[in-house]
Chains A and B, each alone.
Chain A
């Protein structure tokens, strides 16, 4: 059999896709992981942005990011074009979450992302090659992940926890503060880094709610157990802190990435 990824070659990739790749002779390691994290950060932002433009719901976008992180958990970033992998992750996530998105749309939106204000992509050989690459790369991802492509996300837990928290808090205090919007936004930001695959869905959901509540000084009534343990019995304060620390690291990185 030929290599399945022969389509993923440079001839198929337009110049805008070959963006900012570091050279193959990477030496350092510490520096490497930092750089990899930054690349992943940017690519995930790309996933989220084209996700919004493609009208994807929150969970399919989250699935695309998890697919992306799980793929690069297994392979070396230097070997694969991350933006191409990202496009295929978006495509695959659409299939997994039953919100099918066409390759054509993904390619056009990605083109627009890299060339805002530029001419639209011609429907020429480059386009068809690129579409083949996206489809081939999807198979590659499926193989790498051994078809384990459906994930449990924190979103549903966050919703449940939020409803429970809301019922415990003074109605006016709740409506004065945007805890809901904040925790939802925080949750989306988690997907910029591989933290989204290193913590359980419940723990992330609890930590997001915790951070949002604390940011606005909303206090839940004190009971026998802390509120987070009432909502999710296997979570500890350390777990929450670990998630929040990693999220704050992502925010720190934001400054360096833009």
Chain B
């Protein structure tokens, strides 16, 4: 009993918080400068503390005595006094800002560590291997020279995260001048997207420039997109190559893909080769299965968010509305998926989101690829549901248990439609295809087929069993026998490349509920 009382008293910590912070309120004017000390170079300097918890205390005090103003120049002199070259080495490298901006570019920082210079020359391949860079990267000549100066000793010890980051920065990652802006692809409220070229790889990239002068700071869609994409590495998910911070903007560097599925449809006169439909659907499901395994929902699937390159590789893009899903009991804000691809349970007010929210959209996209027409092109919730019920039949307590107690459904008073036969609408689909389509288009979320199960469906039998054991980052086109069929190009009346239609996927930074940008 005494013990319980003690615990209770301790708990009062939480309850009697109204007097909190008394001690912390003492104001002191002497410390004004303290607050002022933020700068890029400091960010990088102090992040070295995260290396192994904290740097040794003596080192820390040493570093503190070298404050911001003289940092760049004084480091090498400071180094001469330090005995522990290995540790210091890493801290020095941190003085060139780890990840970004142009001004603090590190070229003028002299590397003070010239010890143990060996005869071994450092080649580009060595460095690429060391930093896990793409094999096609072209390192600047002076960078290679610098590495040879530092000496191969660098290659003998495990590389630290900080060191890698700095090395990447010296190569040119995180710097705006590494990328050449080409055409503008589109513009939205928060973001502008440019086609660009990386000077490092000569590859095309998509530069998504997010303006920060907006009073609300970094848009939450951008924060979510970056935090998710950093963890998603898959052949069917768009790769985020680099992030560039500047004073006024945040630029995300994505891999460049030629077109989105909407354009692809337009360019082939809305008739995609049936074999390619299968290839695209399989890749869509592969990417989605990977996301769902990681408990990430996309929440905004539509043809504009699926990018396709010349090889026929399809990749999921625009994770601005996606987020890490934790437990299914959690509810999210109601308005997230573009109306045409939004499942009926969500349209009727369900906030119990789970992976099946994405599977309805897969069905709609599958239909659109097979027929060239959107399946349910409603412009209001009521019309959207009307389209759905006209094809699949108005639900009853029998076909959708619990539906009759849904107030919204009852209030709409839909006529009693009977379910139409799906195959009448999809003449180009095989029986297997129609069967799979019907499994996506289930009223109740939990009855929809999962991405994983859909991959096993016999519609995909022709791909053989080896596609199922591919590593995550391998493209299905790496397997012999799998290739894209040539599309018969048909000229449509409207110009296919009108800039307004391009890349709507990049521009969704208006926040929730405003995703109808089609």
Residues of chain A touching chain B, judged by Cβ–Cβ distance below 8 Å, are 1-6, 8-10, 13, 15-24, 26-27, 29, 39, 42-43, 45-46, 48-49, 52, 73-76, 78-81, 84, 91-92, 95-96, 98, 100, 103, 113-114, 131, 134-135, 138-140, 142-144, 146-150, 152, 156, 182, 185-186, 188-189, 211, 215-217, 251, 254, 257-258
Contacts and interface: CB of A to CB of B under 8 A. Distances in A.
A140 B24 CA distance: 24
Given A185-B14, A258-B22, A96 B224 contact: yes
Given A46-B24, A139-B212, A143-B43, A215 B14 contact: no
A135 B227 contact: no
Nearest to A15: B27
Nearest to B213: A135
B227 A147 contact: yes
A21 B34 contact: yes
Contacts of A16: 25, 27
Majority secondary structure of chain A interface residues (helix, strand, loop or mixed): helix
Contacts of B332: 98
20 contacts: A1-B100, A4-B247, A5-B43, A8-B38, A18-B34, A20-B25, A21-B34, A24-B31, A42-B21, A45-B20, A49-B17, A74-B47, A75-B47, A81-B34, A139-B212, A139-B245, A150-B323, A189-B11, A211-B7, A254-B13
Given A45-B21, A96-B224, A257-B23, A75 B33 contact: no
A149 B228 CA distance: 9
Contacts of B35: 8-10, 13, 17-18, 21, 81, 84
Contact of B38 (A39, A49, A79, A150): A79
A139 B99 CA distance: 13
Given A2-B247, A144-B47, A96 B220 contact: yes
B20 A10 contact: no
* Interface hub of A8, A10, A15, A39 (most chain B Cβ within 10 A): A10
Interface stretch (B101-109, B120-128, B187-195, B420-428): B101-109
The 10 closest A-B pairs by CB, nearest first: A5-B38, A95-B220, A3-B39, A1-B101, A135-B217, A74-B50, A21-B31, A42-B24, A10-B32, A9-B36
B299 to A, nearest CB: 11
B40 interface: yes
Contacts of A1: 40, 100-104, 246-247
A75 B227 contact: no
Given A4-B245, A73-B50, A46 B20 contact: yes
* Interface hub of A26, A134, A142, A254 (most chain B Cβ within 10 A): A142
Nearest to B57: A29
Contacts of A98: 220, 323, 332-333, 512
A1 B103 CA distance: 5
A13 B226 CA distance: 30
A143 B245 contact: yes
Given A23-B30, A103-B217, A143-B43, 11 more contacts: A1-B100, A3-B40, A10-B32, A20-B25, A45-B17, A45-B21, A79-B34, A79-B37, A139-B217, A182-B7, A189-B13
Nearest to A143: B245
A10 B37 CA distance: 9
Contacts of A10: 32-36
Contacts of A79: 34, 37-38, 42, 46
A12 B368 CA distance: 54
Interface in B163-217: 212, 215-217
Contact of A251 (B13, B19, B212): B13
Interface string B138-178: 00000000000000000000000000000000000000000
Contact of A3 (B38, B99, B212, B227): B38
Nearest to A149: B227
B38 A216 contact: no
B10 interface: yes
A76 B230 contact: no
Nearest to B98: A143
A17 B29 CA distance: 10
Contact of A15 (B7, B13, B29): B29
A76 B15 CA distance: 31
* Interface hub of A3, A9, A17 (most chain B Cβ within 10 A): A3
Contacts of B23: 20, 42, 257-258
B62 interface: no
Contacts of A211: 7
B203 to A, nearest CB: 23
B230 A148 contact: yes
A255 to B, nearest CB: 9
B223 interface: yes
B119 interface: no
Nearest to B244: A1
B36 A8 contact: yes
A20 B24 contact: yes
B24 to A, nearest CB: 4
A52 B15 CA distance: 12
B484 interface: no
Interface in B308-351: 323-324, 326-327, 329-330, 332-333
B102 A185 contact: no
Contacts of A114: 21, 25
A4 B40 contact: yes
Contact of A186 (B11, B15, B227, B323): B11
A70 B102 CA distance: 27
Contacts of B21: 42, 45-46, 49, 113-114
A3 B191 CA distance: 22
B49 interface: yes
B43 A156 contact: no
A147 B103 contact: no
Interface string B214-246: 011110100110111010000000000001011
Nearest to A10: B32
Nearest to B42: A79
Contacts of B228: 150
Contacts of B103: 1-2
Contacts of B227: 96, 147-150
Contacts of B333: 98
B65 to A, nearest CB: 9
B110 interface: no
A91 B217 contact: yes
Contacts of A147: 223, 226-227, 230, 243
A104 B49 CA distance: 33
* Interface hub of A1, A75, A144, A156 (most chain B Cβ within 10 A): A1
B28 A188 contact: no
A8 B39 CA distance: 9
A50 B465 CA distance: 56
B4 interface: yes
A10 B218 CA distance: 23
Contacts of B220: 95-96, 98, 100
A21 B28 contact: yes
B60 interface: yes
